[in-house]
Amino acid sequence: MATRSHSEIRERFPALASGYVFMDNAGGSQVPIDVIEATTRYFHETYVQVGGAYPASIAATENIQLAREFLRQFFGDDVAQAQGEVILGSSTTVLMNLLADAIANQLPAGAEIIVAESGHEANVGPWVRLEDRGFKVTLWPIDSETGHCRPETLASLVTEKTAIVACPHVSNLLGSVEDIRTVTAIAHKVGAQVVVDGVAFAPHLPLQVLDWGVDWYVFSTYKVFGPHMAALWGRTSHLRALKGPNHFFIPQDGTAYAFEPGGPNHEGCAGIRGLERYLEWLAPGGKQAAMARVGEIEAPLTEQLLTFLNSKPNVRIIGPKDASSERLPTISFIHASLSNAQIVATAAEHGIGIKSGHFYSYRLCKGLGLSPEEGVSRISLSHTTSQFELEKLFDVLGPILSA
Ligand SMILES: Cc1ncc(COP(=O)(O)O)c(C=O)c1O
């Protein structure tokens, strides 16, 4: 199968034909035609209840199973598929609340939880709230210069009682990839489980949950060119030790349904299977190869955007300033005299969608000494971003950012 050209890839995303420049991809990406068609087909042909013996219902049941199978592989490889389960939910925030609650229900009294302050609130708040249930929750503080939660700091915080370490793989403000292997090694030394928010990582590079050694890993499919849902991978052995919130007669045997009250979104599952088709089309060699191709396409775009922002003396990039394999194209910045509102309004006037604010990384903003209300301006690219779009961004923002 031939490698797809960038123009072929863009043609696959109908929304891009409008000419509008979507650069808030860390907020949510566009979807390829495969996702749109799969969802439409589902409504046309299979929009019935699951679990029946008639053909449409059999297909609807299979639809969920196949979406889950695809995601189990998306999280890693065949081994990840064999050792883990995927819980589907409406969002990462919902899944993290569900997980924190299920874990808290079986934690021994006196257990301790460590939470990275650099995280999106979805993987902070649900754990911090467990303080109300008597658990000791420690914030893993950021380094105020870089915004990173340093592994050495974690090593000084863990104790024999630490049960959970929750952290982001990539902050949705900083855009840099954290050393999850080291975090996991530190946590596992004291027997703690690691819960990783991979929402800002998953749209850019292949997932390798077993290689990283994590216990739980979550991402939102609507930021990975799919429908508005989220998926949580957990080791089957951990899942077996928990009780899910589904009805009492649903088997609590380590399978995902115990954690999916009401079941997953059916048409969303069809969209996820459309995403599988898109990745198969994108690159030969499976999901990992397709996501590696995404990373390859994005790397030069990241470099150009950083070079542009670094050339403006009054711009301060929040996060690493240099391109590297550990730097993703989610780039936040502030300007010495312009407000973020002025920057995003100028972009919008010229047909470019970017956003500003704290992006729910409220604690990180505060820790960096930024006002969360003002936050940052954030430009987040995707493998669908074109050279033309990037140059348009530079033409539009160049004059005001040079001020
Ligand atoms: C890093 C990160 N984590 C978690 C979330 C929350 O995801 P969801 O909207 O699926 O709850 C977001 C959303 O922007 C995010 O960027």
Q: Say if ligand 1 is within 6 A of residue 81 CB.
A: no
- Cα separation, 95 vs 90, in Å, equals 8
Q: Are residues 331 and 275 in the same domain?
A: no
CA-CA distance, 377 to 338, in Å (whole number)? 11
Q: Are residues 328 and 196 in the same domain?
A: no
Is there a single domain that holds both residue 305 and residue 263?
Answer: no
- For a pocket test of ligand 1, which of 88, 173, 199, 223 has the largest count of ligand atoms closer than 8 A to its C-beta? 199
**pLDDT confidence of residue 326:** 87
**DSSP track, 327-355:** B-SEEEEEESSS-HHHHHHHHHHTTEE-E
Q: 16 lies in which domain range?
A: 6-31+288-401
> Cα of 113 to ligand 1 centre, how many Å?
21
Q: Is the same domain home to 87 and 218?
A: yes
The tokens for 20 are: 């509008």
End position of a domain, from candidates 225, 252, 280 = 280
* Same domain, yes or no: 228 and 138: yes
User: Where does residue 53 rank: exposed (0-12), middle (13-18), buried (19+ CB within 10 A)?
Assistant: exposed
Instruction: Answer with the one of 280, 307, 330 that is the final residue of a domain.
Output: 280
Atom 16 of ligand 1 has which residue's CA nearest to it?
A: 172
Sheet strand arrangement including 355-357: 315-318, 330-335, 376-380, 355-357
Q: Which residues contact 7 (CB under 8 A, 6 or more apart)?
A: none
Closest atom of ligand 1 to CA, residue 228: 10
Out of 229, 254, 280, a domain closes at 280
CA distances from 14 to 67, 295, 328 (A): 23, 22, 25
Which mutation among 25, 90, 97, 172 tests ligand 1's pocket best, with the greatest number of atoms within 8 A of CB?
Answer: 172
* CB distance 25 to ligand 1 below 6 Å: no
Mean pLDDT by 10 residues, the chain (403 residues): 86 97 98 98 97 98 96 80 88 98 96 98 98 97 92 98 98 97 98 98 96 96 98 95 96 92 97 98 90 96 97 97 89 98 98 98 96 97 98 98 93
Is residue 197 lining ligand 1, measured as CB closer than 6 Å? yes
Whether 180 is covered by a domain: the verdict is yes
pTM: 0.97
Residue 1 lies in a domain: no
- Residue 48 covered by a domain: yes
How many angstroms does the Cα of residue 220 sit away from the middle of ligand 1?
7
Same structural domain, 15 and 66: no
> Does 242 share its domain with 318?
no
CATH code assigned at 309: 3.90.1150.10
User: Do 61 and 209 fall within a single domain?
Assistant: yes
Please, what is the Cα angle at 372 between 322 and 345, to 5 degrees? 75
Gap between the Cα atoms of 225 and 31, Å rounded? 5
pLDDT reported for residue 23:
98
Which amino acid residue places its CA nearest to atom 15 of ligand 1?
Answer: 199
CATH (domain of 272): 3.40.640.10
Alpha carbon nearest to ligand 1 atom 14, residue: 27
Give the pair of three-digit tokens for residue 355.
């956003």
Same domain for 316 and 276? no
pLDDT of residue 78: 63
Q: Which atom in ligand 1 lies closest to the alpha carbon of residue 170?
A: 1
With 0-12 CB in 10 A as exposed, 13-18 as middle and 19+ as buried, what is 143?
Answer: middle
Ligand 1 binding pocket includes 167 (Cβ within 6 Å): no
Establish whether residue 118 lines the binding site of ligand 1, counting it when its CB lies within 6 angstroms of any ligand atom.
no
pLDDT of residue 82: 66
Q: What is the number of domains present in the chain?
A: 2
Strand partners, 333: 317, 377
Residues 219, 76 share a domain: yes
Shared domain check, 389 and 363: yes
Q: Is residue 211 part of a domain?
A: yes
Answer whether residue 144 is part of any domain. Answer: yes
The answer to whether residues 316 and 356 belong to one domain is: yes
